[in-house]
Amino acid sequence: MRRYGHNREQGPASMAKRIAGMTPAVAIGRGYTGLGTLRSLAEAGIPTYCACPSDDVATRSRWFRPTPGARWDGTIGPDARQILRDMPLDRAVLIPGADDAALWLADIPGTTLSERYKVSSSSRETLEILQDKARFGEFLAKIGVPHPRTFTIRSFDDIAAIPFAELDRVFIKPADSQSFSRVTGEKGVWAKDQSEFMEVWHKLDEKGFKLVAQEYVPGSSADHYLIDGFRDRDGALPGLFARRRERLYPPDFGNSTYSRSIPLSEVGSALESLVTLLEKLQYRGIFSAEFKRDARNGEFRLLEINTRAWWYVEFAMRCGVNVCKMAYEDALELPVMPASRNYPIGASCCNLVSDIKSVLAQDPAARSPFLKTLGQWTRSYYHVFRMDDPGPGLLATWRLLRRRFA
């Protein structure tokens, strides 16, 4: 598996020299996404500041630098624009690592901040269609892209109108995933029948969540396919990277715990649907699209699209598809260097602690032999752990042990 070299100039003086002669980037994100964005930009030799909380794993990276001036934790709110105005930078590229940050940055080009801060972004209207699950489902139906049937829920009458008998299973999910996950810790909620469905919806609706009902696409976690990439200001796709989710945790509505790179030819019709959607929306920027292959007919159904950097952004970079670098080049209106589509096949990335939970949660009869799983773990890349950047991994290990023995 190919390993990438690193910029060896690490001292404060050498970093200051690089920043003085090159437009820096500001990575707005936290956790795996923020850390992966920082490392991806650092691999490209781009001086980077991080807008993240002071206790974030990225703060232990060898490449970490807090935002200059008043330290910014990346919170998008009334004070964020003033923080940018006061930041002692003549120019910078802003890279989002969260949905709200992506929406907020879409408005930068229409403000005086655009003279100093550059972004590679779609319009707010485009991002709202992709981020709002209700509007997303309606748009996919309009252009004929296969997707799970989605029903907007505003009242009990909307639930009564859902054709439960025609669907395999139905669950409740938020129109806005980010705020829902932040409050509940969940991506979706099951209900065993229409009565329970109404009860669950009522409780969530009282908390102010905009909700949709969505058909569950039958299949296993290994039927999830993801296409990550970048679309530039001219509509070109200089970066495309396909992977297959092998395991996730928690079951059904969890995050990927073990993924493996696959050739683009393996996601042929899914890629065609994605290209159509991005063209219709005139999309610009980083993306990660998730499909599930329907076990009933083998059709790829589009589940969602992340419109910013995501958990596995560093994995894509390690396989040669550095979308953060592409966003930087595109924001500055520089030529965007295309990545090879002959990236390593069979490379894997693992979130070890969660993947152990995923393996243990499997039916023992269907579980892979332990030696095979152990071999997968020893050959994988990891979200946090890197021998040449050990700080984030050491912090994550310490926190895990502290929780275990508390």
> How many whole angstroms separate alpha carbon 381 and alpha carbon 372?
16
**pLDDT at position 185:** 65
* 206 and 240 inside one domain: no
* 388 and 250 inside one domain: yes
> How many whole angstroms separate alpha carbon 328 and alpha carbon 161?
47
* 209 and 232 inside one domain: no
- Residue 4 placed within a domain: no
Determine if the peptide bond prior to 47 is cis (ω within 30°). Answer: no
**pLDDT at position 3:** 37
**pLDDT at position 182:** 66
- Residue 141 placed within a domain: no
3-state secondary structure of 19: helix
- Residue 173: which of 145, 136, 210 has the closest Cα? 210
Burial class, 308, CB count within 10 angstroms (exposed 0-12 / middle 13-18 / buried 19+) = buried
For residue 394, what is the enclosing H or E element? helix 391-405
* 160 and 181 inside one domain: yes
Number of domains in the chain: 3
* 166 and 298 inside one domain: no
* 247 and 316 inside one domain: yes
- Residue 7 placed within a domain: no
Sign of CA dihedral 241, 246, 252, 254: negative
Count, residues in the chain: 406
pTM exceeding the 0.75 threshold for the entire prediction: yes
* 186 and 285 inside one domain: no
Counting as low any pLDDT under 70, the low residues of the chain are 1-20, 176, 178-185
**pLDDT at position 20:** 53
**pLDDT at position 152:** 84
Instruction: Give residue 45's domain range.
Output: 12-121
